[in-house]
Amino acid sequence: NAGVTQTPKFQVLKTGQSMTLQCAQDMNHNSMYWYRQDPGMGLRLIYYSASEGTTDKGEVPNGYNVSRLNKREFSLRLESAAPSQTSVYFCASVGTSYEQYFGPGTRLTVT
């Protein structure tokens, strides 16, 4: 039982490059979230998916797109990376009591 997995763990991009962050959960949860965590800024919600086939914007969606591929997988895409997107990205899935289970994170640097 792996819980929530994220790939890659680390990534360095040049400005303008694109990439997709992958997230998968094996807990059969309906809801999944993407956050970014910056020093001094806490956790900020980028996008969420309340159920398979639905996605909605969070607090900071600009520059990102998401796909809820199936119940297990929720990916985050940066179409044209910018230095302001340097951050640690966390995926989470939501349990029946609204508790969240987080992945280990992807540490992204955009130069």
Partner 1 sequence: GDSVTQMEGPVTLSEEAFLTINCTYTATGYPSLFWYVQYPGEGLQLLLKATKADDKGSNKGFEATYRKETTSFHLEKGSVQVSDSAVYFCALGNTGGFKTIFGAGTRLFVKA
Q: What CA–CA distance (Å, rounded) separates 111 from 88?
A: 15
Chain mean position to CA 88 = 9
Spatial distance between the Cα atoms of 39 and 22, rounded to a whole number of angstroms: 23
Six-digit token string for 19: 């990439």
Residues 92-111 that bind partner 1 (CB under 8 A): 92, 94, 97-105
Q: Determine, following the binding rule CB under 8 A, whether residue 2 of this chain makes contact with partner 1.
A: no
Asked if 57 and 44 touch (Cβ cutoff 8 Å), the reply is: no
Nearest residue (CB) to partner 1, 31 versus 87 = 31
> Contacting partner 1 (CB under 8 A), which of 17, 20, 58, 72?
58
Q: Which stretch binds partner 1 (CB under 8 A): 18-26, 37-45, 68-76, 77-85?
A: 37-45
Contacts with partner 1, residue ranges (CB under 8 A): 4, 31, 33, 42-43, 45, 48, 50, 56, 58, 90, 92, 94, 97-105
